């Protein structure tokens, strides 16, 4: 880790994301660890729940704006806001300013938030230029690029650059890797047959890489992929990239049972 | 019918917010944009035009011979013989073809192709190195059916008429007034289809084979 | 307007489910998938200027749309100058009447057609057939689909949903009476048989109807792009040539046309250039030895003019390349027919509600993961996924979305705005789900989301949320 920022710690607010909060707290702990090791002072405002995507993607702008105002307020004093999800970061960075485009009072504040918000791996690579040390993960990993992160925030090289520093880890690219995994938030519940079919295809392509682990930067996709792999009886492990980077892979992977000896 | 016209144009004007009929001056502006039209972004390449053209033509399953202007007939006869075909064909028109004295060893039909036409011999108005495309124009002695009905289509190309980009071909057509012809046909390789299992098959409805005779010394 | 199938929520879901279970459809889709994507990528990798050309293509289309009335007038003048006629149709029915009228005046018995999505949009074939006219689709894919009594399932590959076995059966059934009694199964033989059957149709047709990829205001030409040459035989051989086109198809000049042609084939099939790109203007000229005696253009509005100036105007830039279909995971799973109308995939999901009525196609904008790949590949940079989201907003604001879903969403959003309460309320279900899934690490059944667990597990959540754990950690330290 770089030590240069110790003198004047960067104040970072962590936007946990609702999925990390409820489904996989370890992702948020990993994000905190990574940021703290990089010399940041991490704050987790209590006044946060979700970025509002379920409402936004259902066409409910009014509800989304209400949620967004809470997020904007909660992080108004942080230098940076870091999000361990490309899709939620995209909401804060691109969707909030668009929502408040015509709102004199909030447009500026939404833009301020957008300007200081970063997806986790992007922040680590592009803002902090971190160098990991003494992290290892003995595995062959397939990286799944999530759609919002990839297309709206150009997240592609950042996680790979970090993973290259992990000892024992080798990366495999998935064929047609930029294809969606079929999650799509509420889509996966409203159109489960379609969603299930698409994630089936994705898992087949992941299996072709002969990797033993699937990594990604968005829990939505990872829950979807892990759920499908579990159903198929596959023993592929699924982790959020932050967990691997922070060395927090001793416990069960996403969707995996706690092993008896550890429990 | 006129009511439909007025209504559609009216809705367009209303939707575009000004609601006003276009004044003569506005139409003049659009017309002038057309008249002063210039090439925009074009793919850059430095290759020699002839080489590039041939390479692109081969890439779309075409074949060619580079020949001298005195050997048009013999080149055609030789190519047809190699395919086991007789020395007869439907003949188009163009400066090189018109200047060729056909011997009595061959038989040419100066008419449109029909359902059973085996071979047609045409001349390209221009050829585009960018994509390996041949530019054909219809006219009193150039029936476009010759481009589409024969099994084998042979096209004579004057090397000097190979241009870099598509827009250069438009310039040639504009200059000669050929943009006013009924048909301008751009041909890039033989006919093909991918409609059965997305696998390419040649000779869907048009020519199964496309062979060029590139005249180097006209 | 007449619509072949209305699309209610249930109908789309049913069709999608059927499509997912249709083994031969799935075989055909699996065969097609990847090919289009890889070919396009190769073509684009070979053209460093692709993005700049896309920008230019978008700008040309925007310029035309902003001046559409003027360009339509200029185009019309050129067509008339060339000796052709322009007809204006406000809707599908009017267009069909105009075309049927032209065919009747020409005493047409047989009509050949080049592939025209606009004529599918008009539902033209049944109208002509009712008038006693034999209509023959000549694009091989459209021909296959016509023999099957179906509609195209893809705008550039109409028979993409058909396997070779199905095509073999269709040809055997329909060509046997014409003397082709051998059952052919190989691709080459199938193509040759169709070539031979359709050749007779081409030379005997009275009227040829084609679509138009573009209409060039500079020369009054309609442009058709094909690989087979069927559009050209349809344009050149019959006595009468009718062109059908949406009013948005105009490009100002030949130079503008070049820009659009450079993105069209690459986006559609990954070709640099299609085999045949033809510009036809007016009837045969004096002295020409062949060509149609009459040339008609039928310009179809059908709701397009209303879209100008509004939030959906970018959709009118569409050049119907099919790239968004080829890159859409939903299209790739169910094919085109499930969408219920002529246009499918992302462009169809945006366009169908606009042209056909919002309440007729509520599912389409929602049956999308918003992955944005369609927007990424669009050659004229239509923000397709953003437009789908605009549809959702409109559905929500017009209260067209299902009431129970709206209630749940509203309740959740209310809670999400009150983080402390939210954190408290979420604790119990979290704990229950954690308990249920602990042993396996995931749940195989989830109340309220049994759809999800129909095809995959639901990974078990943590026992306590991050926010709770974080707080106790802070308290401890």
Give the model's confidence band at A260: pLDDT under 50 very low, under 70 low, under 90 confident, else very high.
low
Q: Which chains neighbour B (Cβ–Cβ under 8 Å, 3 or more pairs)?
A: C
Q: Residue B191 pLDDT more than 90?
A: yes
Which of C82, C139, C229 has the CB atom closest to B148's CB atom?
A: C229
B43 in a domain, yes or no? Answer: no
Query: Which value does ipTM take for this structure?
Result: 0.97
Tens of pLDDT, residue by residue over C130-167, are 999 999 999 999 999 999 999 999 988 999 999 999 99
B150 in a domain, yes or no? Answer: yes
B83 shares its domain with B179: yes
Sequence-separated (6 or more) residues with CB below 8 Å from residue C101: none
B143 shares its domain with B78: yes
Least confident stretch, A61-65, C372-376, C434-438 = C434-438
B28 shares its domain with B129: no
B81 shares its domain with B138: yes
pLDDT at residue number C6: 41
- Supply the mean pLDDT for chain B: 95
Tens of pLDDT, residue by residue over C400-428, are 988 888 999 999 999 999 999 999 999 99
Q: Where in chain C is the domain with CATH 3.40.50.10420?
A: 9-162+206-305
The CATH number of the domain where B137 resides is what? 3.40.50.10420
* Structural domain containing residue B12: 2-35
Which of B8, B56, B173 has the CB atom closest to C90's CB atom?
A: B8
Contact between chain A and chain C (3 or more Cβ pairs less than 8 Å apart):
yes
B81 shares its domain with B6: no
B57 shares its domain with B139: yes
**Cβ distance of C199 and B115 shorter than 8 Å:** yes
| Domains in chain A with CATH codes | 4-126 (3.40.50), 134-245 (3.40.50.11810)
User: Closest Cα to residue C120, out of C83, C144, C146?
Assistant: C146
Burial of A235 per CB tally in 10 Å (0-12, 13-18, 19+): exposed
Tens of pLDDT, residue by residue over C279-301, are 999 999 999 999 999 999 999 99
Does A53 contact chain C (CB < 8 Å)? no
B161 shares its domain with B65: yes
Q: What residues in B contact C140, CB-CB < 8 Å?
A: 193, 195-196, 204-205
Scanning C290-440, the segments in alpha helix (DSSP H) are 304-307, 323-326, 329-334, 345-356, 373-377, 384-397, 403-416, 419-437
**Cβ distance of A193 and C451 shorter than 8 Å:** yes
pLDDT at residue number A230: 96
B139 in a domain, yes or no? Answer: yes
pLDDT at residue number C2: 36
What is the token pair recorded at A226?
Answer: 């892990």
B109 shares its domain with B210: yes
Mutation target for B interface from C255, C257, C299, C379: give the one with most B CBs within 10 A. Answer: C255
Q: Does CATH number 3.50.50.60 belong to domain C9-162+206-305?
A: no
B18 shares its domain with B88: no
CA distance C363 to C384: 16
The distance of A71 to chain C (nearest Cα, Å) reads: 9
B21 shares its domain with B88: no
- Supply the mean pLDDT for chain C: 94
Least confident stretch, A198-207, B19-28, C369-378 = B19-28
> Can you list the pairs that C361-365 forms with residues at least 24 positions away whose Cβ atoms lie under 8 Å?
C361/C7, C361/C12, C362/C7, C362/C8, C362/C9, C362/C395, C362/C400, C362/C401, C363/C7, C363/C8, C363/C9, C363/C12, C363/C13, C364/C7, C364/C12, C364/C339, C364/C391, C365/C389, C365/C391, C365/C392, C365/C395
Mean pLDDT for A142-170 is 97
DSSP one-letter string for C250-293:
EESSHHHHHHHHHHHHHHHTS-SS-SEEEEE-SSPPTT-SSS-S
Tens of pLDDT, residue by residue over A107-139, are 999 999 999 999 999 999 999 999 997 999 999
% chain B with pLDDT above 70: 97
* Residue C157 Cα distances to A232, C144, C213, C336, angstroms: 34, 11, 15, 10
B116 in a domain, yes or no? Answer: yes
pLDDT at residue number C262: 98
Tens of pLDDT, residue by residue over A159-196, are 999 999 999 999 999 999 999 999 999 999 999 999 99
**Cβ distance of B26 and C70 shorter than 8 Å:** yes
B98 shares its domain with B20: no
Can you give the length of chain C in residues?
477
Tens of pLDDT, residue by residue over C254-277, are 999 999 999 999 999 999 999 999
Which is it for strands B88-91 and B107-109: parallel, antiparallel or unpaired? Answer: parallel
pLDDT at residue number C5: 39
Of all helices (H) and strands (E), which one includes residue A36?
Answer: helix A25-37
Tens of pLDDT, residue by residue over C308-363, are 999 999 999 999 999 999 999 999 999 999 999 999 999 999 999 999 988 878 99
% chain C with pLDDT above 70: 97
Does A149 contact chain C (CB < 8 Å)? no
CA distance A236 to A230: 8
**Cβ distance of A193 and C17 shorter than 8 Å:** yes
**C10: nearest CA in chain A?**
A191
B211 in a domain, yes or no? Answer: yes
Which residues on neighbouring strands pair with residue B209, listed in sequence order? B152
pLDDT at residue number A5: 46
Number of independent structural domains in chain B: 2
B58 shares its domain with B116: yes
Q: Do the Cβ atoms of A135 and A167 come closer than 8 Å?
A: yes
Q: Residue C4 pLDDT more than 50?
A: no
**Cβ distance of C426 and A184 shorter than 8 Å:** no
Tens of pLDDT, residue by residue over A239-258, are 999 999 999 999 999 999 98
**Cβ distance of A193 and C460 shorter than 8 Å:** no
Would you tell me how many other CB atoms lie within 10 Å of the CB of residue A176? 15
Q: Residue C7 pLDDT more than 60?
A: no
pLDDT at residue number A75: 98
B63 in a domain, yes or no? Answer: yes
pLDDT at residue number C359: 82
B40 in a domain, yes or no? Answer: no
B44 in a domain, yes or no? Answer: no
How would you list the strands of the sheet with A117-119, edge to edge?
Answer: A40-43, A10-14, A80-83, A117-119
**Cβ distance of A193 and C20 shorter than 8 Å:** yes
Q: Residue C475 pLDDT more than 80?
A: no
């Amino acid at each position: 880790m770089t030590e240069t920022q110790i003198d004047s710690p960067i104040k970072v607010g962590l936007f946990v994301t609702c999925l990390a909060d409820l489904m996989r707290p370890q992702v948020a702990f990993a994000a905190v660890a990574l940021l703290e090791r990089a010399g940041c002072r991490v704050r987790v405002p209590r006044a946060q729940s979700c970025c509002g995507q379920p409402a936004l993607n259902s066409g409910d702008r009014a509800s989304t704006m209400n949620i967004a105002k809470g997020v904007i307020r909660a992080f108004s004093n942080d230098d940076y806001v870091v999000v361990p999800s490309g899709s939620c970061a995209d909401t804060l960075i691109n969707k909030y300013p668009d929502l408040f485009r015509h709102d004199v009072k909030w447009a500026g504040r939404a833009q301020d938030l957008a300007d200081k918000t970063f997806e986790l791996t992007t922040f680590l690579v592009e803002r902090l230029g971190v160098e990991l040390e003494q992290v290892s993960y003995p595995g062959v990993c397939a990286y799944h690029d999530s759609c919002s992160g990839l297309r709206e925030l150009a997240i592609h090289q950042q996680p790979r650059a970090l993973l290259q520093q992990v000892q024992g880890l080798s990366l495999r690219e998935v064929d047609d890797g930029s294809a969606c995994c079929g999650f799509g938030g509420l889509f996966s519940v409203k159109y489960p047959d379609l969603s299930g079919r698409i994630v089936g295809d994705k898992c087949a392509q992941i299996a072709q890489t002969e990797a033993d682990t699937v990594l990604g930067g968005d829990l939505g996709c990872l829950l979807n992929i892990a759920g499908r792999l579990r159903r198929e009886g596959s023993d592929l492990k699924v982790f959020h990239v932050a967990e691997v980077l922070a060395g927090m892979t001793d416990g069960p992977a996403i969707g995996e049972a706690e092993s008896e000896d550890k429990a | 019918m006129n009511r439909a016209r007025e209504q559609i144009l009216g809705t367009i004007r209303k939707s575009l917010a000004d609601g006003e009929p276009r004044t003569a001056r506005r139409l003049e502006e659009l017309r002038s944009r057309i008249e002063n039209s210039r090439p925009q972004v074009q793919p850059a390449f430095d290759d020699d035009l002839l080489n590039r053209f041939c390479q692109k033509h081969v890439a779309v399953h075409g074949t060619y011979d580079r020949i001298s202007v005195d050997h048009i007939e013999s080149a055609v006869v030789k190519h047809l013989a190699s395919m086991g075909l007789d020395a007869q064909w439907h003949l188009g028109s163009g400066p090189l073809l018109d200047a060729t004295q056909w011997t009595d060893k061959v038989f040419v039909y100066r008419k449109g192709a029909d359902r059973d036409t085996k071979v047609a011999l045409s001349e390209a108005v221009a050829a585009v190195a960018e994509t390996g495309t041949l530019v054909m124009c219809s006219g009193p002695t150039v029936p476009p059916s010759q481009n589409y009905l024969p099994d084998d289509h042979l096209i004579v190309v004057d090397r000097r008429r190979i241009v870099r980009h598509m827009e250069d071909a438009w310039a040639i057509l504009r200059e000669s007034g050929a943009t006013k012809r009924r048909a301008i046909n751009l041909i890039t390789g033989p006919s093909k289809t991918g409609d059965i299992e997305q696998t390419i098959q040649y000779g869907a409805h048009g020519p199964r084979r496309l062979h060029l005779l590139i005249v180097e010394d006209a | 307007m007449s619509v072949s199938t209305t699309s209610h929520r249930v109908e789309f879901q049913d069709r999608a489910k059927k499509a997912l279970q249709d083994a031969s459809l799935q075989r055909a889709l699996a065969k097609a998938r990847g090919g289009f994507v890889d070919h396009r990528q190769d073509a684009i990798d070979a053209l460093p200027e692709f993005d700049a050309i896309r920008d230019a293509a978008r700008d040309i289309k925007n310029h035309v749309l902003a001046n559409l009335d003027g360009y339509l007038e200029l185009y019309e003048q050129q067509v008339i100058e060339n000796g052709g006629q322009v007809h204006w149709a406000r809707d599908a029915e009017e267009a069909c009447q105009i075309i049927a009228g032209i065919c009747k005046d020409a005493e047409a018995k047989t009509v050949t057609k080049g592939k025209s999505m606009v004529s599918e949009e008009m539902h033209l074939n049944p109208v002509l057939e009712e008038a006693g006219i034999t209509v023959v689709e000549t694009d091989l894919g459209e021909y296959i689909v016509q023999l099957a009594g179906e509609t195209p399932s893809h705008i550039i590959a109409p028979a993409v949903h058909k396997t070779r076995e199905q095509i073999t059966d269709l040809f055997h059934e329909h060509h046997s009476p014409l003397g082709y009694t051998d059952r052919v199964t190989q691709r080459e033989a199938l193509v040759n048989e169709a070539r031979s059957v359709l050749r007779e149709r081409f030379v005997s047709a009275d009227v040829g109807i084609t679509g138009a990829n573009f209409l060039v205001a500079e020369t009054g030409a309609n442009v058709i792009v094909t690989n087979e040459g069927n559009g050209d035989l349809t344009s050149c051989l019959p006595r009468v040539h009718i062109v059908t086109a949406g009013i948005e198809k105009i490009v100002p000049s030949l130079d503008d046309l070049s820009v659009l042609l450079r993105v069209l084939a690459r986006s559609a099939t990954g070709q640099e250039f299609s085999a045949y790109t033809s510009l036809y203007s007016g009837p045969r000229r004096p002295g020409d030895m062949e060509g149609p005696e009459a040339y008609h253009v039928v310009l179809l509005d059908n709701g397009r003019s209303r879209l100008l100036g509004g939030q959906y105007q970018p959709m009118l830039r569409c050049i119907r390349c099919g790239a968004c279909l080829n890159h859409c995971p939903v299209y790739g799973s169910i094919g085109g027919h499930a969408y219920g109308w002529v246009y499918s995939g992302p462009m169809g999901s945006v366009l169908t509600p606009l042209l056909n009525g919002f309440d007729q196609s509520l599912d389409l904008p929602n049956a999308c993961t918003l992955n944005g790949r369609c927007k990424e590949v669009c050659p004229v940079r239509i923000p397709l996924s953003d437009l789908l989201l605009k549809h959702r907003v409109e559905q929500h604001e017009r209260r067209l979305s299902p009431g129970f879903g709206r209630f749940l969403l509203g309740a959740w959003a209310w809670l999400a705005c009150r983080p402390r309460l939210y954190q408290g309320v979420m604790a119990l279900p979290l704990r229950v789900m954690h308990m249920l899934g602990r042993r396996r690490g995931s749940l195989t059944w989830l109340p309220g989301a049994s759809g999800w667990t129909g095809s995959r597990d639901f990974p078990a959540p943590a026992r306590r949320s991050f926010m709770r754990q974080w707080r106790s950690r802070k308290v401890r330290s």
